[in-house]
Amino acid sequence: MLKVILLRHGETPYNADGNRYCGRTDIGLTEKGLAQAQKVFAALKDVHIDAVYASPLARARKTAEIASGNRPVITDERIIEADFGLWEGKTKEEFIAENPELWWQWMKDPKNTKAGGTGETGGEIVKRVNDFFEEMNVKHNNQKILVVAHNGINRLYMAFKLGMPLSYYRRIEQENSSITLFELDDEKGFTLKKLNAI
């Protein structure tokens, strides 16, 4: 069994500015985001963690460094945020006004629709994230790891593992630097233990 402490990175300037879609744009954390990561460290300081993984984007790496108490962080491209295509850097209100049909199609069928028209499909995202966690389940069997990634991919992955249609992924909320706990077991599969714990 693999035990996973899953975080979304701390607040970024895009999160603070109307929740602009950051995607692959590599920006850092706000002062609030740094404080959020520090709060996670305080919550986890007495928890044994065998390894720390993060998306290669700065906001996730920095959150992982702070939350783990500056332990070595292994980055993995498979848990980078979704490529949101033409939606990058825009708020939902802005890009829906530009092309409401594309947003409707994404909401109806994210599995097969390219985000922002030119980005990734939900199916592509789920495949790479699932590949990552399946590898972790083998590599860190009977261990606990900290993984810091992103709102879009975390929610799509959890929806997939919970057997939900991917179109329901937005019904799962993961706040900045909130703690989500889940387990992966060869027999029991995916078990969500906590969501938005702090």
Catalytic position from the list 11, 65, 81, 88:
81
Q: Are 59 and 27 in contact (CB under 8 A)?
A: yes
101 is catalytic: no
Burial (Cβ within 10 Å: 0-12, 13-18, ≥19) of residue 45:
exposed
Neighbours of 56 (CB within 10 A): 14
Residue 138 neighbours by CB under 8 Å, 6+ apart: none
Neighbours of 173 (CB within 10 A): 11
* Cα separation, 67 vs 62, whole angstroms: 8
Residue type, 76: D
Catalytic position from the list 9, 11, 88, 120:
9
Residue 136 neighbours by CB under 8 Å, 6+ apart: 2, 4, 53, 145, 147, 184
Selection from 85, 24, 84 nearest residue 60 by Cα: 24
81 is catalytic: yes
Q: Assign 16 to helix, strand or coil.
A: helix
Catalytic residues: 9, 81
